[in-house]
């Protein structure tokens, strides 16, 4: 099968001891491409997503963004650096960006301000946007309705059918994480059953949210195959069809052709 992990943090220090082995296992599992999500880590530091893309051309593809947790801490010069990095031809998308009211590491008003800023940047550059939302769906939806991006994905979607339909009606994709395998995720499974296959992506969000039977352990891109298998089971489809569709969707969204 040909699978794309549409959201991974393989530059995380959690892989510093065995990153090459993690990449090898992903290839062996049928993962043909990985979207490496570049994130601001601290002053002057935007992480290692672009380094991965440079070291593994045609396999890793880099995004760049500033997470809602961090927006209140970013110096002005790094917002300017974001603009520079975002404009690079090798940057395939802006994000992840969005709202997170679960932890509120940054004040809500700051989150909304800089979410809008990054949506505007994506629109200006003609690039898709990778959207994070946690306990903030109402405000996320309102901002997206006002500033509907030309292309984008709700990453790590865990909502139910009603919320899925609202985002789909805005023209967005939904990216399904390993949470879909959890016993308490029936609303998400209902959403997956109802959502058109041509609007779904699959992701690990590794090193977080490992699917069953790996729950509680470090996640890795090889496990995205489990997400594809679970979607196939929920929809009553061959896993090869789910793999082909989600790969095609990711290729179209991120223009990986």
Per the annotation, binding residues for a divalent metal cation are 7, 9, 96, 132, 155, 205
Three-class DSSP category at 76: helix
- Distance CA(246)–CA(253), nearest Å, equals 10
SS (H, E, C) 192-255: HHHCCHHHEEECCCECCCCCCCCCCCCCCHHHHHHHHHHHHHHHCCCHHHHHHHHHHHHHHHHC
* Listed residue (196, 195, 231) closest to 211, CA to CA: 231
**Residues marked as binding?**
7, 9, 96, 132, 155, 205
17 CB neighbour count, 10 Å cutoff: 8
In terms of DSSP H, where are the helices of 7-136? 19-28, 49-55, 76-87, 108-125
- Distance CA(48)–CA(92), nearest Å, equals 15
* Listed residue (53, 41, 54, 132) closest to 82, CA to CA: 41
């Amino acid at each position: 099968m040909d699978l794309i992990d549409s959201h991974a943090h393989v530059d995380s220090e959690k892989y510093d001891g065995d990153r090459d082995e993690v990449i090898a296992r992903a290839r062996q599992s049928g993962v043909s491409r990985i979207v490496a999500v570049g994130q601001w880590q601290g002053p002057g530091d935007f992480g290692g997503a672009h380094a991965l893309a440079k070291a593994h051309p045609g396999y890793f593809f880099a995004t760049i963004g500033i997470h809602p947790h961090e927006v209140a801490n970013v110096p002005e010069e790094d917002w300017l650096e974001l603009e520079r990095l975002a404009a690079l031809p090798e940057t395939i998308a802006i994000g992840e960006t969005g709202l997170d009211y679960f932890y509120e590491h940054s004040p809500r008003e700051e989150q909304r301000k800089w979410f809008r800023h990054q949506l505007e940047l994506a629109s200006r550059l003609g690039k898709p946007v990778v959207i994070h939302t946690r306990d903030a769906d109402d405000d996320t939806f309102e901002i997206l309705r006002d500033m509907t991006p030309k292309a984008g994905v709700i990453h790590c979607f865990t909502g139910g059918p009603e919320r899925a339909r609202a985002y789909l009606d805005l023209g967005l994709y939904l990216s399904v994480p390993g949470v879909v395998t959890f016993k308490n995720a029936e609303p998400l499974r209902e959403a997956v059953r109802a959502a058109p296959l041509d609007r779904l992506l699959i992701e690990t969000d590794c090193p977080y949210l490992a699917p069953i039977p790996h729950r509680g352990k470090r996640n890795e891109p090889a496990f995205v195959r489990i997400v594809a298998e679970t979607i196939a089971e929920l929809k009553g489809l061959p896993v090869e069809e789910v793999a082909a569709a989600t790969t095609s969707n990711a290729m179209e969204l991120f223009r990986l052709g």
